Structure 1
Amino acid sequence: MASYKQLTAQLEKLHKEVAAARDKEVAQAIADIKQKIAEYDLTAEELGFTSAAAKPRRKSSASAVAKYRNPKTGETWSGRGRSPAWLVGKNRERFLIEG
């Protein structure tokens, strides 16, 4: 039976072989893909690789209009996101801001 030292040396050698084999196969895959892209004159959009900058983004409102107010503290909540602690388990209609 091999010693711990021998096994770790074998493991290190195998890790290096795995990394080298992967690098070689990745390089071949990239070459194949580039060849197909050139052969069919494909664009990034056709492949589904549009840049994040090219995608239209929703503009978020800087601040939403308050819908609820805590009469004790004056604290408000827009109704978006997680409910504030002062409103949890209570009838929200009582805290609606008339407007």
Structure 2
Amino acid sequence: MIVNERDTQEGLLVAVCDEDVLGETFEEGDLSLTVTEEFYGGDAVEEDAVVESLAQADVANIVGTRAVELAVEEGFIDEANVLEVGTTLHAQLLRMQ
């Protein structure tokens, strides 16, 4: 998976995607999701590093079947809040403080 971390005014923003979805566009009805290198590009990491990044995130955007499944398995995302966009999955995390 690929992880990109950046500090923002809202806190730590973590973007995670499966490697095979980077650069792809997915559509479902009126919804279109482009997984850009600019936003999602970063370091290829193992699953444990993804979990560590999500644990620190104030905001996270997660794209790709495996990345979203991992976020659900680890309790970061409720499965009911996962969107199917074309042939992939997408979820967002916002940690309120």
User: Is the structural similarity TM-score above 0.5?
Assistant: no
Higher RCO structure (Cα 8 Å, ≥6 apart):
2
TM-score category, normalised to shorter length: under 0.3
Compare CA radii of gyration and give the structure with the larger one. 1
Higher strand share: 2
TM-score by length of 2: 0.18
TM-score by length of 1: 0.18
Higher helix share: 1
